[in-house]
Structure 1
Amino acid sequence: MSSFRCRKDQLLRVQGLIEVTPLTLVGDYSNHPYLQDLFLHKKIVQRRLQEVIPYNDCLYKHLQEFKYVVLLDTDEVIVPVEGTWVELIDTLNNTLGKKSSYVARNVYFLDSHLHEHSWFEKIPKYMHMLQHVYRAENYTKPGHFIKGFHDTDLVTALHNHFPYSCLGGCKHKEIDLELAHLQHYRADCVKGVKCDAMKVNSVMDSRVWNFKDELIERVERALADLGFVEDSLTNVIDCIVPAMSRRITLLVVIIVIVILNVTFQKMAITNSYNRHDTFRQILQMKVDPTEAKQNSLAVSLDKESNGNIPDYYFSEKNRNKKMPRFNNTCARFPDLFDLQFKNDLWQVQKTSNGTLMLFNAYWDERNGTKIRIVGMYDVHPTDAIYCQLWYPNSDKPVFVQSEAPFWMFYPGWGADKGYLIHPYLISCKAEMINGQIPTSVSLVEKECDNATNNLKVFRSQGEKNKNFVVCVKGLSFPFEDKTTRLAEWIEYLNILGAEKINFYEFKVHPNTKKLLEYYEAKGQIEVTPLTLVGDYSNHPYLQDQFLHKKILQRRLQEVIPYNDCLYKHLQEFKYVVLLDTDEVIVPAEDTWVELIATLNNTLGKRSSYIARNIYFLDSHLHEHSWFEGIPKYMHMLQHVYRAENYTKPGYFIKGFHDTDLVTALHNHFPYSCLGGCKHTSIDLELAHLQHYRADCVREIKCDAMKENSIMDTRVWNFKDELIGRVERALDDLGFAEDSFGLKIGGGGHVQRDHLFVTETKPPEFELSDQPLINDSDLETWQANDAVLLDRSSAVDIGYPKFPERFC
């Protein structure tokens, strides 16, 4: 069971029974799973405003295909007394005539009713509705919490419960209770309903049993298809319960089965459960992130975010605590739902001089103590701004005017166009109070402004007894599997002396994701989620196109992860090394440790030691046959021919940057350093930067570099150790011999040289200079209502067909 993945939604998609449309919150709200879930549970009015959109999207997508659209939550079913919806609609048409809507009265099947009887034999205990046949004796008031069948010939706008408008006016009619009603399965009544009588007075209503045998057979067949065998109740719970910690509220529900079990969203439950718990007990588990133990949620938040939300919001001791503020009108501590976000990870503060999009804040105690903040600004700021510093156990902020914001780019690089957003480092002097640093900081235009941002202050821990952390800008390989190349690269860097690699991740292939999770679990790497900020799409296709086509905009944004990585590891590592995954600084002998010792002894302390760039082009790879004893899939070990000539000094360089000195970093060199930047080139006899590319960078004339090549085998210094490490990692991941159905090649190695190099990219298209009008991760909100996703037709695998009359 441990290796089985829950894929119920995919099975139903293949059957053609459901269609799943991605959805995000729109506006300045976060779509991080925890915060999104809190929003949906706490901000009821805002949620109801937004959920109107998927209802009407569903209506118009199916306007010409279905006669009726039915809006249901996953705890509701319109159940006829007899027959199916087909017979019910025929009866309603014959008796009432054509109406815009036929609406069903609501009656509660409460969890308390479920305890009024023992389990019904011959019905699986996990089948909630079939086991749950006691309901409230009384219905809710007419018109309250109704659901219905809406005629697609007539309705033009829908609410959850009724149509807003119809062609010729809306004429909806209530369905007689002798024909059907809405069965509503809940833990408690909806707020506003007096529930005591409904809990106390119950009656048995077994109409759901009309299709009992067929329903049991279908569900058991589906679970069997998913890998569950007979008598596997605990397995069913193993798969389904982790996904039940939150129900999907904003969901376009396409109902084509009279009774459909609950559709779940994958998310790890924070409660533990006993395998012998009944499914009834498990269903009733309540998971409210704000009720989690102190700091437990913060750990989970950091795992799926960049960690910039203060722990304060999720601490149990702060739940009923009065929010700090300077006074009743000035500098209020932001409520969790006051925080505004851009593309989930970036906190937003709007000013009269533009909009700040903030990534993270850090404590820097070099040369005095300061708070450093990295973020993007949609203009070049003309004035300093203010930091509101929030200290533990203090009910008022400390106000500090920032130093002049530092632009982490150069004017000569063409970034002065008006529509661009710019990377900035903002610094505010800060002191410890009672031995404590600020726990969070808000940036505002004026001291007393109420902030819409509140950044957790990150303090790098450690005694700086580690040598090297490698920082990698946002990985974007959504369609190309880089698993073996990346495994070789990670293991080689680790051999050379990298004690941690901090990857920033846009979107990667599932196999590559598996590899990253493997190394993260081992503690060798750290993975930080990353999104494009601004009005750009983070849909995988568009994001990948943007990163390949909009070079200047990409370079402006990639400055942020480099500096985030610097400040997160400031006190732990002596050197930060910025590398792409096709680059390695390779010493002529030994490791980075010996190289740095030599450089310190000969050159003295410098802000950066810089390595010259040399190309190992793909054309060089074809100049020789495979080297025996080296797996063909090990790209660097097989690739030991390089260009004879180096690129010009200062071009495409990479280096070791001293964390005692650098304050702002570019990809290739530092922007600023304490006491001024003093970087020096590493002698070519000691080390160089090996750059593995298909071709030279666009700015370089490449013919000579392709034609004139020489052999350089310094990468073989640790050949045997590297081969052993990579093979062990791939075996641990299940990429063992014959695991891909491939033939065994020379030396007993799987012929992996053709693996992970195919691309399945969409057709390329030109991107304009203007940003796309998109804001959220799944990018379903578009200015022109265009559909992004290509929906292929469902595959028929022999499941029963249902009347295509209801959506």
Structure 2
Amino acid sequence: MRRLCVVRKKQHFHIIQTAILCTFLLLTFLDIWPPFFEPIFEGEEDEEETLSTHKLREAFDEGVEKLEYLYSAQMGKAKMSELVERNAIVEKMRQCGGTEQKRTARSREWTKNGQLFVYSAYLDGRKNSVFSNWPSVQVLISSFGIVPLNHTFYCHFRHYLYQTDVAKWVWQGTVVRAHVRWIWQRAWDPRTEFYNTFLITCPMTTKNLEEEIDSFILISRNSFCVNSDQSIGMANFTKIIKPNKNLVITDQSVFGVQAGQIKIAVCTKGLSFLEETIAFSAQKVVEWVLLQRSFGANDVTLYIYWIPQKVRNALRRMANKKQLEIVELNLPGNSPNHPFLRHQFIQRNRQQKRRHELIPYNDCFSRYSATHHFVLICDIDEVVVPLRHHNWQQLLHELVAQGKWRAEPSSISIRNVFKFWRQNTTNLNNEQHNANKNNNSNQAEDTKNEDSLFSNKWRTEKAQPIGQYGKSFVNTRSVASVFNHFGLHRLHANVANTLHVGENDALKLHWREKCPEAEFGTEKCQELAKNVIIDTLLDRFREKIEGEKRKAF
């Protein structure tokens, strides 16, 4: 039976190939060409391949290659990109220096370097397999297509050492060859016609640069020095963010770190909401932030495209109290950045949305990689709840201490259960109805007040299968880049795969307006709606959260 299924899949694939080939031959026979090719005129290059035919053949070959890759992925034979980079030689091209006015350079804002759009650059002192003897600067960029993989790029460092007079600074710098990694796996989607995210690693061969010394970086295909006061189209430097030395953790591993010493940061993707809804309101976002802090988050960072003013005001009050950090976010390149157009663009372009989300994920991870042990990336409708422990630190300490590890953990993933706002209780059995009636005195009031994460008293009984909707605590001691659900590239080879935590240890509560039928299907959603239980996991935090919430309004 299995062999028959494989044969049928191969037949379907060959049918698709044949259909594409027939279309190509039909266009050739009828002399019908897409408008983006130049027309063929009689008598011109009769015996030679025309430019339009060459372009069409290239497009056809590329399309067939992607179909073949997708078929290989379905068969479990797709080639995956390497997650551990081999040791590279530091290629120092130039030593530069001079005096000039200190350049104005930004970080965590888009800076155009030719075909690249640079977002941020972070000094990274962690040991890594690429440049094992040097600290590195991790540069986060976006580029349309995969230009960085097809060309050699160089990192231009610029360090302003001291000031000679009111206007001039002495600077020194080096030019070294860059190491480029695509933060993606082709098995997720082999198409490249998007803005893609890349991590460029630059070895910094100049040591003992104190925190107060301003350092900048430029990514370019040119290896020549950018001279003092030289202003060219590609000379757009980005400021290197250096960690506070007083906050840097010296642990090379999470093994042996006591629970009370574990530091955890929480990051979100870019938030784009034009108005408050049942799923997004000022009350719920404030509750969400307070819950993260109650569970043990040392820092919480929200990336924001656009949110309603009421929500923004509440978050600003919390930011002023150091309860969170807000980072304003835009899309790179020619992507729309008017709030309404950008929101529509994000909602309607799912594959591009997934790629754009890698920018805040990895910026936040790089931001905390020197000062925190774990980074949890989750959405504002998700809360990771420890079931047997008071906080995340105790949970992670036990998992690390008692686990049968052969290597440093990469990610510790938590299973998902849903909490649907539009829960249809007509399908519940008598036992569930009685539990609903007898739950507690706040049930009736909670049902009316949907503007609170505590109001929904139901959750699905079964957790989603491993690998579906899970979110991870990513280990900064072993990971170089992150994806939505887990760590991706690794700092070195001695790293274990993702650990999936048992349902008795922790669960991720995931609020949704309703079951995603487009993804699960009607039958699966009906099954989830019927198999629900009373959820009391957050009750122990409710009184404290509601008391603190009032201070934000």
TM-score, with structure 2 as normaliser: 0.67
Q: In the alignment, what sits opposite 1:366?
A: 126
Q: Quick check: 425-434 or 679-688, which moved more?
A: 425-434
1:695 corresponds to 2:514: yes
Cα 1:539–1:668, aligned 2, differ >3 Å: closer, same or farther? Answer: same
2:248 matches 1:453:
no
- State the Cα distance separating 1:345 from its structure 2 match: 2.6
Structure 2 residue 422 is the aligned partner of structure 1 residue 616: no
Counterpart of 1:654 (choices 449, 454, 471) is 471
Give the CA deviation at 1:633. Answer: 4.8
Deviations 1:243-270 (A, max 9, x none): xxxxxxxxxxxxxxxxxxxxxxxxxxxx
SS class of match (1:413):
coil
Q: Is the aligned partner of 1:592 residue 2:392?
A: yes
**Is structure 2 residue 482 aligned with structure 1 residue 682?**
no
Pick the aligned partner of 2:204 from 423, 430, 433.
Answer: 430
Deviations 1:305-353 (CA, angstroms, capped at 9, x unpaired): xxxxxxxxxxxxxxxxxxxx9489xx999954xx899xx9310111xxx
Match of 2:144 in 1: 378
Normalising by structure 1, we get a TM-score of 0.46
Q: Following superposition of structure 1 onto structure 2, how do residues 484-633 of structure 1 map, counting pairs within 5 Å?
A: 484-589=283-388, 590-603=390-403, 604=405, 605-620=408-423, 624=436, 628-629=441-442, 632-633=449-450
Kindly state the Cα deviation for residue 519 of structure 1 after the two structures are TM-superposed: 0.8
What is the deviation of 1:660? 1.2
Counterpart AA for 2:196: H
User: Match for 1:597: what amino acid?
Assistant: H
Segments of 5+ residues of structure 1 without an aligned counterpart are: 1-324, 734-807
Pick aligned residue for 1:388 from 145, 156, 166 = 156
Percentage of pairs with the same residue: 23
Cα distance in 2 for residues equivalent to 1:416 and 1:686: 39
Shift of 1:613: 1.3
1:598 and 1:333, CA in 2 relative to 1: closer, same or farther beyond 3 A? same
Q: Distance in 2 between matches of 1:671 and 1:407?
A: 10
- Give the number of aligned pairs: 395
What letter matches 2:237 in structure 1? Answer: N
For 1:509 and 1:467, how far apart are their aligned partners in 2?
Answer: 31
Task: Name the SS for the 2:423 alignment partner.
Answer: helix
Q: Tell me if structure 1 keeps the 8 A contact 2:302–2:324.
A: yes
What is the CA-CA distance between 1:371 and the residue it aligns to?
0.8
User: Partners in 1 of 2:292 and 2:192 — Cα distance?
Assistant: 38
Q: Which residue of 2 aligns with 1:480?
A: 276
Aligned residue type for 1:361: A
1:463-492 Cα deviation digits (max 9, x unpaired): 335611100111111222610111111111
Separation (CA, whole Å) in 1 of partners of 2:314 and 2:327? 15
3-state SS of the aligned residue for 2:489?
strand
C-alpha distance 591-326 of structure 1, shift in aligned 2 (>3 A): closer
Using the TM superposition, give the Cα deviation of residue 714 of structure 1 relative to its aligned residue in structure 2, in angstroms.
1.5
Q: Please, which of 236, 244, 263 is the counterpart of residue 467 of structure 1?
A: 263
Q: Give the secondary-structure state (helix, strand or coil) at the position aligned to 2:551.
A: helix
For 1:729, the equivalent position in structure 2 comes to 551
Residues 438, 400 of structure 1: alpha-carbon distance in 2 compared, 3 angstrom cutoff = farther
Q: Given that residues 466 and 499 in structure 1 are in contact (C-alpha distance below 8 angstroms), is that contact kept between their aligned partners in structure 2? A: no
Task: Specify the structure having the higher radius of gyration (Cα).
Answer: 1
- Is residue 459–residue 568 contact of structure 1 (8 Å, CA) maintained in 2? no
- Is the CA contact 2:126–2:370 (under 8 Å) kept in the aligned structure 1? no
Q: Is the 8 A contact 1:392 1:438 kept in 2?
A: yes
* Cα distance in 2 for residues equivalent to 1:332 and 1:402: 25
CA distance in 1, matches of 2:97, 2:205: 22
**Per the alignment, in what secondary structure is the counterpart of residue 372 of structure 1?**
strand
1:339-350 equivalence runs, <5 A: 345-350=109-114
Q: Which amino acid aligns with 2:266?
A: V
Q: CA deviation at 1:627?
A: 5.3
> How many Å separate the matches in 2 of 1:426 and 1:551?
25
Q: Check whether the contact 1:620–1:642 (CA below 8 A) recurs between aligned residues.
A: no
2:376 counterpart SS class: strand
Please state how far the C-alpha of 1:428 moved relative to its aligned partner.
0.9
Q: Is the 8 A contact 1:441 1:456 kept in 2?
A: yes
What per-residue deviation string (whole Å, max 9, x for no partner) do you get for residues 696-748 of structure 1? 3442232211222122311213222222222x325xx2xxxxxxxxxxxxxxx
Which secondary structure state, in structure 2, belongs to the residue aligned with residue 471 of structure 1?
Answer: strand
Name the counterpart of 2:191: 416
Measured against aligned partners, the alpha-carbon deviations of 1:741-769 in whole angstroms (never above 9, x if no partner) come to: xxxxxxxxxxxxxxxxxxxxxxxxxxxxx
Q: What is the deviation of 1:616?
A: 1.0
CA distance 1:428–1:463, change in 2 (3 Å):
closer
C-alpha separation in 1, matches of 2:424 and 2:292: 21
Counting only pairs closer than 5 Å after superposition, residues 6-21 of structure 1 correspond to structure 2 as none
Equivalent residue of 1:636, what SS?
A: coil
In structure 1, the residue corresponding to 2:298 is in which secondary structure? strand
Partner of 1:691, secondary structure, is strand
Q: CA deviation at 1:635?
A: 3.0
Corresponding position of 1:400:
176
Q: Name which structure has the greater RCO, CA cutoff 8 Å, separation 6+.
A: 2
Distance in 1, matches of 2:272 and 2:418, equals 22
**Structure 1 residues 285-322: Cα deviation after superposition (integer angstroms, max 9, x where no partner):** xxxxxxxxxxxxxxxxxxxxxxxxxxxxxxxxxxxxxx
RMSD: 2.7
Please give the alpha-carbon distance, in whole angstroms, between the structure 2 residues aligned to 1:717 and 1:725: 14
